């Protein structure tokens, strides 16, 4: 039994009411979790709009005619794989391994960029065949919902660059590891939203 594990065993014996204020890591995680939940409520509103408007095509292209399942499967694979590499990255941050941290962060970044470029190519194809957001209520709702998710992924990628720079300049300080923990939560939450997107928007289109 290592020293830390002994501390843990002792910590389990202390009743919750006698443990004092929660450590910063737990508090920061809780605050960020609240933000993520409010973000998910925004997505819920967009999902509700899409669910109500998905049939209102105004004579334009329908969902079944526009969406390609293979394309979506590749996008899903990218996002899922990047979620796992992000998890490996946060394990590397915890154990303070610089090389593997950079490696997993870079893989996460590349997978995120691949996802975004696939989405941008899909959007530009739709715009080129005249299925832009102004064509029908269905397409407005689609571009708002999927575009908001894409915007979040873009912000996540910017954050990831900042985290790489912080590891490079500040090293593995507790605050850097806390920030990376929050980034991981953000990235995994985007993946959860994407499950809703591919189920309701893309798979629901072909039913």
Partner 1 sequence: MSTEFEAQGVAPGVNVRTHGTRTSYLIGLSYAVILTLASFWASSTDVIYPPGVPILLGVLAIAQMGIHLVFFLHISSAPDQTNNILALAFGIFVVGLLVFGSMIIMANLNHNMMPMDRLMQMQR
> Which one, 11 or 128, has the nearer CB to partner 1?
11
Tokens of 6: 């002994």
Range 8-47, binding partner 1 (CB under 8 A): 8, 10-11, 14, 16, 19-20, 22-23, 25-26, 29-30, 33-34, 37, 40-41, 44-45, 47
CB contact at 8 A, 154 and 186: no
Among 64, 68, 96, 117, binds partner 1 (CB under 8 A): 96
Q: How far is the CB of 203 from partner 1 (least distance, A)?
A: 4
Among 64, 65, 73, 170, binds partner 1 (CB under 8 A): 73
- What three-state secondary structure class fits 26? helix
Q: Is 161 in the site for partner 1 (CB under 8 A)?
A: no
Q: How far is the CB of 147 from partner 1 (least distance, A)?
A: 19
Q: Is 118 in the site for partner 1 (CB under 8 A)?
A: no
Q: Is 65 in the site for partner 1 (CB under 8 A)?
A: no
Query: Which phi-psi region, left, alpha or beta, contains residue 22 (left: φ > 0; alpha: ψ -120 to 50)?
Result: beta
- What three-state secondary structure class fits 97? coil
Q: Is 95 in the site for partner 1 (CB under 8 A)?
A: yes
Among 64, 65, 69, 125, binds partner 1 (CB under 8 A): 69
**Residue linked to tokens 């990218």:** 78
Query: Which phi-psi region, left, alpha or beta, contains residue 133 (left: φ > 0; alpha: ψ -120 to 50)?
Result: alpha
Q: How far is CA 139 from CA 53, 121, 143, in A?
A: 9, 16, 6
* CA of residue 158 relative to chain centroid, distance: 13
Residue 33 main-chain phi, psi, to 5 deg: -60, -40
> Which one, 20 or 59, has the nearer CB to partner 1?
20
Binding segment for partner 1 (CB under 8 A), chosen from 82-90, 112-120, 126-134, 160-168, is 82-90
Q: How far is the CB of 63 from partner 1 (least distance, A)?
A: 12
Among 99, 105, 180, 206, binds partner 1 (CB under 8 A): 206
> Which one, 47 or 143, has the nearer CB to partner 1?
47
**Residue linked to tokens 């995680």:** 29
**Residue linked to tokens 């890591």:** 25
């Amino acid at each position: 039994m290592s020293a830390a594990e002994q501390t843990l065993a002792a910590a389990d014996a202390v009743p919750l009411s006698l443990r004092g204020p929660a450590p910063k890591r737990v508090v920061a995680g809780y605050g960020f979790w609240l933000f993520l939940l409010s973000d998910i409520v925004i997505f819920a509103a967009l999902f509700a709009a899409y669910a109500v408007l998905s049939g209102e095509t105004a004579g334009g292209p329908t969902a079944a005619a526009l969406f390609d399942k293979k394309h979506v499967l590749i996008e899903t694979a990218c996002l899922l794989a990047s979620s796992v590499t992000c998890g490996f990255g946060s394990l590397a941050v915890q154990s303070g391994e610089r090389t593997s941290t950079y490696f997993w962060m870079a893989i996460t970044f590349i997978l995120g960029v691949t996802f975004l470029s696939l989405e941008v190519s899909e959007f530009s194809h739709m715009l080129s065949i005249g299925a832009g957001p102004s064509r029908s209520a269905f397409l407005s709702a689609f571009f708002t919902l999927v575009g908001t998710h894409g915007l979040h992924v873009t912000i996540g990628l910017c954050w990831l660059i900042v985290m790489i720079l912080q590891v490079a300049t500040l090293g593995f300080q507790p605050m850097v590891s806390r920030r990376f923990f929050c980034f991981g939560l953000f990235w995994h939450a985007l993946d959860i939203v994407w499950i809703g997107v591919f189920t309701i928007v893309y798979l629901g289109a072909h039913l």
